[in-house]
Structure 1
């Protein structure tokens, strides 16, 4: 926010071109890692208008506890290697549902039964969009 000489307040843009570029690199890293790990039913949701928590939500499935754990480990390593730092992680002890908060992108990795129960796609999907964007 900047204050102009006449005392009026002018809002700064929510996202600078540099941060938009970093967010694009981040989502690209996340999607490449998930595809590399053979995650299933990958969905991306643009939640920038719905929440200040993040710009994107990515939801994916693993076939088993072990697969969910491997996907999460691979993603965390890829994020760090790409220079996005260490992401916050929840749920890695049970691997039914692992949440990875990478800043502008929040990633949910589920076992299929758990994903069906919580149905985050329906909760976060835009009202005008009847179907989320499936990647793989």
Structure 2
């Protein structure tokens, strides 16, 4: 990619410049340059430790029907998935907020969160652990467990 005004713009480079270009003349820094955490497990413990912390937080917040799914070898999006329910939208949103704060404090993870405003289904991407928090009716409608668990386990 040709970028005007950038040193070596006409030169052939070994690393792919296009992976870091946001727009002409604006460059994204690589994670190594910014010190960003790409994987929480690599910086502050293992994905199993993160999973334990997530499960503890959910237990403290009185989450219901907590299911953990091991994604290792099944998906590249993370090592573990946790699905849990809250009794109300307010409880689901509060659980999400507590989880995000805990992941930031204990694992230096800036989690990505979707759906916290409505509190029906909140997705928290903590990197190695992905958490889905539902109101019971919404969880029953989507039946996320059926996509990831063996048939016998999902039928319960």
- TM-score interval, normalised by the smaller of the two chains: 0.7 to 0.9
Correspondence for 2:100: 76
**In structure 1, what is the equivalent of residue 54 of structure 2?**
30
- Structure 2 Cα separation of the partners of residues 126 and 86 of structure 1: 31
Residue among 78, 82, 92 paired with 1:54: 78
Structure-2-length-normalised TM-score = 0.68
Q: Structure 2 CA distance, aligned partners of 1:45 and 1:28?
A: 13
RCO greater where, 1 or 2, for CA within 8 Å and sep 6 or more? 1
Instruction: Give the number of equivalent residue pairs.
Output: 114
How far 1:81 moved relative to its partner? 1.5
Residue deviations 1:100-129, cap 9 Å, x none?
0000110000000000000011111136xx
Structure of larger gyration radius? 2
**How much does 1:83 deviate?**
2.4
Moved more, 65-74 or 118-127: 118-127
Structure 1 segments (4+ residues) deviating >3 Å? none
Instruction: Tell me how far apart the structure 2 counterparts of residues 93 and 66 of structure 1 sit (CA, whole Å).
Output: 10
Tell me which of 83, 90, 113 is aligned to 1:66.
90
* Distance (whole Å) between structure 2 residues aligned to residue 95 and residue 121 of structure 1: 19
TM-score computed with the length of structure 1 as normaliser: 0.77
**Which of 111, 114, 117 is residue 135 of structure 2 equivalent to?**
111
Partner of 2:5: none
- Residues in 2 aligned to 1:30 and 1:115: alpha-carbon distance in whole angstroms: 19
Q: Which residue of 2 aligns with 1:131?
A: 153
Stretch deviating more after TM superposition (45-54 or 111-120): 45-54
Show CA shifts across 1:7-44 (max 9, x none).
Answer: xxxxxxxxxx968x511111011101000111110000
